[in-house]
Amino acid sequence: AQSVTQLGSHVSVSEGALVLLRCNYSSSVPPYLFWYVQYPNQGLQLLLKYTTGATLVKGINGFEAEFKKSETSFHLTKPSAHMSDAAEYFCAVSDQTGANNLFFGTGTRLTVIP
């Protein structure tokens, strides 16, 4: 069965500092991995996804993530945090059934300090 673990329910960074949000996955088959972002009082929206091919995936708003099979990781990074990045971030993995349902992690709330 597929699952994801997000380390750190809360992460704080200073404006301009590197953002690193951690996600490790468990999957019996090559995984399909996603990062979604939830801004306050809104639904989730897709940041980026990895299916096959290039292991470094670029998403919206300057975020990127690298799929590392040897480490079973898919960490999300951004070189320089902006105040508008403050949100909750969810890592997800597809169950790779006919429906490709998503299993979400428990989320990481990012605070950006001015």
Partner 1 sequence: EAQVTQNPRYLITVTGKKLTVTCSQNMNHEYMSWYRQDPGLGLRQIYYSMNVEVTDKGDVPEGYKVSRKEKRNFPLILESPSPNQTSLYFCASRLRPGGLDEQFFGPGTRLTVL
Cα of 33 vs its chain's centroid, Å = 8
Q: Is 22 in the site for partner 1 (CB under 8 A)?
A: no
Q: Is 84 in the site for partner 1 (CB under 8 A)?
A: no
Instruction: Find the shortest distance in angstroms from Cβ 14 to partner 1.
Output: 26
For residue 60, give the 3-state DSSP assignment: helix
Instruction: Find the shortest distance in angstroms from Cβ 93 to partner 1.
Output: 11
DSSP code of residue 113? E
Q: Is 99 in the site for partner 1 (CB under 8 A)?
A: yes
Q: Extract the tokens encoding 18.
A: 């590197």
Binders in 29-58 for partner 1, by CB under 8 A = 32, 41-46, 49, 51
For residue 83, give the 3-state DSSP assignment: helix
Residue type, 34: F
Instruction: Select the span of 18-26, 68-76, 77-85, 105-113 touching partner 1 (CB under 8 A).
Output: 105-113
